[in-house]
Chains A and B, each alone.
Chain A
Amino acid sequence: MGVLEEKKETVRKVVTTKEGPNLKGTMIAVMLLGGFIVLSWFSVYWLYMVRL
């Protein structure tokens, strides 16, 4: 990638972060998703421990 192109991109980045989209819902949804995974994991882990 040429130097010129890289420069252009940095300029664009600055512009877009200023008016970045509102992604609050996405953030929370992904966190809930992670939480669900951890919860399921630990519930089967618990089953493993009690059967050990």
Chain B
Amino acid sequence: MKLTESIKKDFNTMTWVLIPVAIAINVVIGQIVAILKLPVYLDSIGTVLVAAVAGPWAGALTGTLSNIIWGLAIDPNAFPWFPVALFIGFVAGWCAIGGLFKTWWKVVIAGFLIALTAAIVSTPIAVYLYGGITASGSSFITAYLLETGKGVVQAVFSTNFLVEPVDKIATALLAYAIIKGLSKRYLARFPRAENVS
């Protein structure tokens, strides 16, 4: 399939209407999780959901816009991290095309791949924009690793790799649980319903 066709396939009106809802799910669940003081973010469940039912391009767009909206409306500190969200959606979409959203244990694998992607993509942003120490709590781990003499890139990546998998595997599993809770009739309206049935 040619690139433009592959992109076009992801988008019908259902996708366009789903994306705002998915972004709202990202934001609101992210905030509820913070209220409950859980040690995860879970702020990309909506992104993974779109990626699974509509495809990688729609997922990438949802992730990107999610960050932009978070920046526009809640906290402008979110802007520079949009590539991470973009790749989470993109990789989740390809995982779904590869059949990783059909049974729960495959979803765990998808979650791990998404986590790996997030760890890789956020490293250069943390290093070049923030000099390695960002504003998040996990920066203490990075700082510790720096003190033990690790290079900054290595320290940041190791931190990300420690933090991401739990969050992203939980995210993928919750997105999967949502999909399982939706009717076949409803899912069939989305461009890549076959990925999840």
Are both chains from one complex? no
Residues of B within 8 A of A (CB): none
Residues of A within 8 A of B (CB): none
